[in-house]
Amino acid sequence: MLCAPKLDPDVPTVAVENRFAALFAGRPVILAPMEEVTDALFRRICRRLGAELCVTEFVNVEGLLRGCKKAARKVGLGPGDEPTAIQIYGADVGRLIEAARVAEQAAPAFIDINCGCWVPKIARRGAGSGWLRAPDAMVEMVAAVVRAVALPVTVKTRIGWGDESEMPIVALSRRLEQVGVRALTIHCRTAKAGLRGAADWGWARLVAEAVRIPVVLNGDVRTADDARRAFATTGAAGVMVGRRAIEHPWIFREARSLLDHGAACPDPTVAERFELCREHLRAMAEARGEPYGIRAVRRHLGGYIAGLRGAAELRRRLFSCDTLTGSIAILDEAEPMMRAWHERARDSAEAVAPAVPAITT
């Protein structure tokens, strides 16, 4: 397992604090933690396309402390994989403390505690969003983890557990700040809502107004304009992109262009789309072998080629192939035809575009 150098206990606290503050200085667009998605390879892709900060997959504290290979892989931060935060989840305070100390040795940007995962098999055990059912215990748990490690600790949570008329998130956020949490990511749905319904960004605004620490908005950030509106209307210090990044990691580049320059950037070209398919397939085949590595990329491939003529048939062919050689051959065969169609469509659109009248004086 590739790991970054262990955290130096002699590094002055002020240096750690300055590095953490710098993470939120430029309104980052952040890659969300997603199980079986945000591994080191996908973080590398998203970082190259403009994600200033990434978060690992969810790390189960029990698996990490038992020496589970999967958990160990998740906390392995190799060269260039920075800044990346490690997110841990669990239901037992003591085990969360132990896991935070183990994670700290990988020298992440910070340690994030998952108090927002709504998946029933996790929440029912008291982990993830299950902590929202007992806010007092949640605050005590977070305080204990903060005391146990030298790195900054953050929390990702939801606005509440169920359908309460007044969500607990604002008061809870103040309490979390008081016990030393350095930033909060607010997924603007309840735990019971899961991924249903629209995220209510108003709660992120209320939390940002109630605390002095950075607040990151999560939920329904699907386009560059969504990111722009989120910053403009909520006062968030960062926005986090989840599901949209799986199929369209170019969202980070598009958001940065709009935020930094006020301009939309061009859509990814056909060549870019195909090259990303090849890159991801090759990297996963090397890292995890065949056929597992090939199959693991399928959740991304459909989005990478979305919108291209013939994408449905190409997707069907790719999803029926379990080998790297076969997948690359399919892409190599399809790309020239798709590029030719795209160029014809572009030329046709330019030919029928209305002429701009000359300006006379």
The per-residue pLDDT for 360 is: 40
Same domain, 115 and 252: yes
Angle at 19 between CA 18 and CA 24, to 5 degrees: 95
Query: Can you spell out the DSSP letters for 182-202?
Result: --EEEESS-TTTTT-S---TH
Residue 50 lies in a domain: yes
Q: Do 239 and 217 form a contact (C-beta atoms < 8 A)?
A: yes
Q: Do 57 and 37 form a contact (C-beta atoms < 8 A)?
A: yes
Same domain, 246 and 284: no
Mean residue pLDDT of the chain comes to 91
If phi > 0 it is left, if psi is from -120 to 50 it is alpha, else beta; for residue 31 that is beta
The per-residue pLDDT for 14 is: 73
The per-residue pLDDT for 234 is: 97
Residue 20 lies in a domain: no
The per-residue pLDDT for 5 is: 40
Same domain, 31 and 87: yes
Sign of the torsion angle spanned by Cα atoms 36, 41, 44, 48: negative
Same domain, 253 and 308: no
Same domain, 198 and 171: yes
| Buried-exposed string 112-137: b where 16+ CB fall within 10 A, e elsewhere | bbbbbbbeeebbeebbbbbbbeebee
Range of the domain at 296: 270-348
Name the domain boundary from 238, 261, 284.
261
Same domain, 276 and 256: no
Does 117 qualify as catalytic in the annotation? yes
The per-residue pLDDT for 166 is: 58
What total of structural domains would you count in the chain? 2
pLDDT tens series, the chain, 361 aa:
333 344 454 455 777 788 899 999 999 999 999 999 999 999 999 999 999 999 999 999 999 999 999 999 999 999 999 999 999 999 999 999 999 999 999 999 999 999 999 999 999 999 999 999 999 999 999 999 999 999 999 999 999 888 755 568 999 999 999 999 999 999 999 988 888 989 999 999 999 999 999 999 999 999 999 999 999 999 999 999 999 999 999 999 999 999 999 999 999 999 999 999 999 999 999 999 999 999 999 999 999 999 999 999 999 999 999 999 999 999 999 999 999 988 887 766 655 555 544 444 3
pTM comes to: 0.89
Q: Integer distance in angstroms from the first to the last C-alpha of the chain?
A: 70
Same domain, 154 and 194: yes
- Of the candidates 3, 20, 1, 22, the one whose C-alpha atom is nearest the C-alpha of residue 11 is 20
Same domain, 211 and 326: no
State the Cα–Cα distance between residues 102 and 92, nearest whole angstrom: 15
Residue partners of 60: CB distance under 8 A and separation at least 6? 68, 71, 88, 89, 90
Same domain, 238 and 344: no
From 54, 115, 117, 277, the catalytic residue: 117
| Buried-exposed string 72-92: b where 16+ CB fall within 10 A, e elsewhere | bbbbbbeeebbbbbbbbbbbe
The per-residue pLDDT for 167 is: 67
Tokens in use for 110?
Answer: 């910070």
The per-residue pLDDT for 4 is: 38
Same domain, 313 and 214: no
Angle at 290 between CA 284 and CA 294, to 5 degrees: 50
**CATH number, residue 275:** 1.10.1200
Residue 172 lies in a domain: yes
The per-residue pLDDT for 162 is: 82
Same domain, 246 and 291: no
